[in-house]
């Protein structure tokens, strides 16, 4: 994210505590969509979503710090983990929200944020999520809607580490800074260019 906004001193929290076991009737989904600040709001607005957590997924280092991830040394991507009630909201709806909040054609990051830490990905928790994620991707590929190749990978979920507390719910804690960052990064303009009236926000 923009260095001027992301350079503050952060307080670490235990990833295990933040990403601990959900109740038996809840499920988890994990998506990398560039800046994790921007991926929390569209999920928090959904009925059936209990919690969103900003963090890191897909890398090789344990308990990574934000600065280590964005410097490219851990292999992680910024991600949001969604705790949801599948009796209220289906994983297919979470996928619908994901696609319309990312630029799926950008393999070098997202919007103004560049580098591997900001690349998109769907991290599927189990076979059912994997099947639905692949089906959603195939739907776009077969629709002829886009003349560019979608580069967002669908990967098996392996790990998730919560980011420092400063990042959790950033859009609520610092609404003015968040809106400025989002505008400065050109996120909404690009989403509207790709998705039109379906664009997330």
The DSSP annotation for 65-131 comes to -HHHHHTTSS--EEEEEEEE-TTTS-HHHHHHHHHTTS-TT-SSEETTEESGGG--EEEE-HHHHHH
Report the alpha-carbon distance of residue 181 to residue 166 in Å, rounded: 16
Closest CA to 88 of 30, 49, 130, 131: 49
CB neighbours of residue 148 within 10 Å:
10
Catalytic residue among 35, 38, 112, 185: 35
112 as an active site residue: the answer is no
Catalytic residues: 35
């Amino acid at each position: 994210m923009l260095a001027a906004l992301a350079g503050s001193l952060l307080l670490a929290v235990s990833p295990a505590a933040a990403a601990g076991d959900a109740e038996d009737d809840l499920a988890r989904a994990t998506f990398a969509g560039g800046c994790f600040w921007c991926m929390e709001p569209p999920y928090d607005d959904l009925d059936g979503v209990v919690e969103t957590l900003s963090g890191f997924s897909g890398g090789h280092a344990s308990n990574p710090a934000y600065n280590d991830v964005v410097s490219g040394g851990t292999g992680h991507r910024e991600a949001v983990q969604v705790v949801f009630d599948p009796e209220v909201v289906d994983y297919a709806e979470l996928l619908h929200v994901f696609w319309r909040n990312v630029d799926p054609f950008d393999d070098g990051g997202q919007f103004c944020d560049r580098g591997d830490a900001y690349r998109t990905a769907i991290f599927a928790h189990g076979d059912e999520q994997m099947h639905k994620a692949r089906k959603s991707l195939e739907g776009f590929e077969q629709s002829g809607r886009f003349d560019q190749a979608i580069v967002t990978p669908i990967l098996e979920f392996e790990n998730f580490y919560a980011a420092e507390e400063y990042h959790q719910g950033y859009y609520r804690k610092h609404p003015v800074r968040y809106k400025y960052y989002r505008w400065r990064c050109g996120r909404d303009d690009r989403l509207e260019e790709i998705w039109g009236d379906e664009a997330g926000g």
